[in-house]
A = this chain, B = another copy of it.
Amino acid sequence: MTQISDNTLKVAQQAFDNLMHGFATSNWEPLLNLLTDDFTFWFPIGTYHGLNIGKERAREFFQYVTELFGQTLKLTSLERVTSSETTVVFEFCDEASMLGQPYRNRIAISFDVRNDKICGYREYLGSDGKSN
């Protein structure tokens, strides 16, 4: 058996909950409060494609997410949660209205945890924004 730190899971689960809270309310502060100052994130497409560095960049990104989705994005299915000592991956399906058009996707997001904060985030797309 391999042992996994419960703290890593707990911090990542809180980050995931805060991410969903951000989608529901447009209040990203609870998520931003969980990020380290040197937080980095990778995003697969569009304006934020590639590596993004810093918490302020993350703040801009989540503002952009709100411009795209308003408060419409909802988790429809949490498919899997996997973890190592330092990383937790959430696979899920979501749906929303994106700039007024129906949006559905399958997503994997991977959080890197350092102590009680998130120091990295990578997002991956499992579908095309039209189906999940």
Closest-CB distance, A71 to chain B (whole angstroms):
25
- Chain A 78-114 interface mask (CB, 8 Å, partner B; 1/0): 0111111001110100000000000000111010100
Q: Assess whether A122 is in contact with B126, with CB atoms less than 8 Å apart.
A: yes
Main secondary structure of the interface of A (DSSP, over half): strand
CB distance from A17 to the nearest CB of B (A): 18
Contact A83–B84 (Cβ < 8 Å): yes
Asked if A82 and B89 make an inter-chain contact with CB atoms under 8 angstroms apart, the answer reads yes
A20→B44 CA distance, assembly (Å): 23
How extensive is the interface on chain A, given as a class?
Answer: 35 or more
Indicate if the CB atoms of B80 and A126 lie closer than 8 Å. no
Q: Which residues of B contact A91 (CB under 8 A)?
A: 89, 110, 122, 124
Q: A3-B4, A89-B110 are in contact. List 20 more A-B contacts (CB 8 A).
A: A1-B4, A1-B6, A2-B3, A2-B5, A3-B3, A44-B125, A44-B126, A45-B128, A80-B84, A80-B87, A82-B82, A89-B89, A89-B108, A91-B122, A91-B124, A106-B122, A106-B124, A122-B126, A124-B126, A125-B125
